[in-house]
Structure 1
Amino acid sequence: MFEFLFNQYKDYPTYEIVLEITAIIFGLLSVWYAKKDNIWVFPTGIINTAIYVYLLWKWTLLGDMMINFYYVVMSIYGWYHWTRKKDDVVEFPISRMNAYEKKVSVLIFVLTIVFVVAVYRFFGKFTHWTSYVDTLVTGIFFVGMWLMARRKIENWILWIIGDIISIPMYFVKGYSFTSIQYLIFTIIAIFGYLEWKKTLQQKIV
């Protein structure tokens, strides 16, 4: 079983395996901190995504690389957004999407899909069904990250959908460690949604 899951790593440089495992550890920490509505979600997330930008560039997985580069940028934005206070009160607490944010979310999704398709066609990367799935997941995660940066509870729904799709996709691509990471992400994201929902209901009451 172990050989079946991790056989593809036998030809990988040791440093790439170490980097992937390091990125996974910080990725799990980031999602855990997000679940707890803790500001450490962003510094740990930046380390995770910065490592993946490098690894995915090495693996020529352009869509995935763009996702993670976007995560780095949005993590910086989210870090700033979450720390904003007015009279010692958090200016942007956990909340639900408004009409404007729903429109922006659709726009981000559509523009992301168009951009990724253009990049994939330019580099001739539509050679496997995973490329099409990757395009869809990129759109989902781009919106999810933007909503997380704005502390919207709906971000968890998008993470759950994207994570579930990513589990078999990364396994088929040959990255078992990352596939397992997304399985754990899915579990934490479900609990994250429930925890944020509880917090939101307490505020309403």
Structure 2
Amino acid sequence: MIEIFNFLFGQYSTYDSLDIVLEIIAVIFGFLSVWYSKQNNIWVFPTGMISTSIFVYLLLKWGLLGDMMINGYYFIMSVYGWYIWTRKVDATHVTPISKTSLKEHLLSFLIFIGTLFFVYVVYNYFDKWTSWVAYVDSITTAIFFVGMWLMAKRKIENWIYWIIGDIISIPLYFYKGFTFTSLQYFGFTFIAIFGYLAWKKHLNNNPAT
């Protein structure tokens, strides 16, 4: 039992207690954010902003630039998404859940490619291409950038990107030594699957949207 515990959490023996507490708090608010997203609830954004702001601090401190950029982007897109979700499209209705249009698919592709290029430039500048982790980081960053943009636009396809990115992130963060965050992505995967099903059910029940 002790061996299992050490395998999962042994890396935290060298971390500051405050950083461990902050990571746990960020994980809790991260779970709340994804849960609220599944529920199509506006609280997805304020809870997400708390989580991402904490992670930006921690990841900057730990020198994980790709992950830090993801969370910084999440924070910015949460502000944008908060506006989009509360913006009224007419006198009584706010922006509804909808499917991604062809134009938005194209924009998603451009965001993906643009993110890869941006991460490449940043990692080159800071000489971060030191292991295979950096290459996986660049891919997950691009996936999550697209997913967050689509979520802010209230597009059902955002869940597909989250599911793919979450699955990749589970072993990635464990390898990096952040077990709590790895467990967070494990939970995120299931919530994202149920989120997709819930939003799909909503669309089927509201074909006009």
On whether the aligned pair clears a TM of 0.5, the verdict is yes
Partner of 1:128: 131
Q: Unaligned stretches of 5+ in structure 1? A: none
Partner of 1:22: 25
User: How many pairs were matched up?
Assistant: 204
Map residues 151-162 of structure 1 onto 2, 5 A cutoff. 151-162=154-165
Partner of 1:7: 10
- Which amino acid in 2 is paired with 1:161? I
TM-score (normalizing by structure 1): 0.98
The reply on whether 1:89 has 2:93 as its aligned counterpart is: yes
Map residues 1-205 of structure 1 onto 2, 5 A cutoff. 1-85=4-88, 86-90=90-94, 92-204=95-207
- Which amino acid in 1 is paired with 2:93? V
- Which amino acid in 1 is paired with 2:7? F
Deviation at 1:104, TM superposition (A): 0.7
- Which amino acid in 2 is paired with 1:133? V
Computed over aligned residues only, the root mean square deviation of the Cα atoms, in angstroms, reads 0.7
Q: Using the alignment, how far apart are the partners of 2:12 and 2:194 within structure 1? A: 31
Q: Using the alignment, how far apart are the partners of 1:89 and 1:146 within structure 2? A: 21
Q: Using the alignment, how far apart are the partners of 1:183 and 1:126 within structure 2? A: 26
Deviation at 1:88, TM superposition (A): 1.5
Deviation at 1:180, TM superposition (A): 0.4
Q: Using the alignment, how far apart are the partners of 1:153 and 1:72 within structure 2? A: 20
TM-score (normalizing by structure 2): 0.96
Q: Using the alignment, how far apart are the partners of 1:46 and 1:88 within structure 2? A: 27
User: Aligned residues: percent identity?
Assistant: 64
Deviation digits for residues 113-138 of structure 1 (CA, Å, limit 9, x no counterpart): 00001111111111111110000000
Q: Using the alignment, how far apart are the partners of 1:161 and 1:81 within structure 2? A: 24
Deviation at 1:103, TM superposition (A): 1.0
Deviation at 1:7, TM superposition (A): 0.2
Deviation at 1:158, TM superposition (A): 0.2
Q: Using the alignment, how far apart are the partners of 1:39 and 1:170 within structure 2? A: 28
Q: Which moved more, 1:25-34 or 1:124-133?
A: 124-133
Q: Using the alignment, how far apart are the partners of 1:181 and 1:103 within structure 2? A: 30
Q: Which 4+ residue blocks in structure 1 deviate beyond 4 angstroms?
A: none
Deviation at 1:204, TM superposition (A): 1.4
Deviation at 1:56, TM superposition (A): 0.4
Q: Using the alignment, how far apart are the partners of 1:65 and 1:98 within structure 2? A: 30
Deviation at 1:200, TM superposition (A): 0.4
Deviation at 1:3, TM superposition (A): 1.2
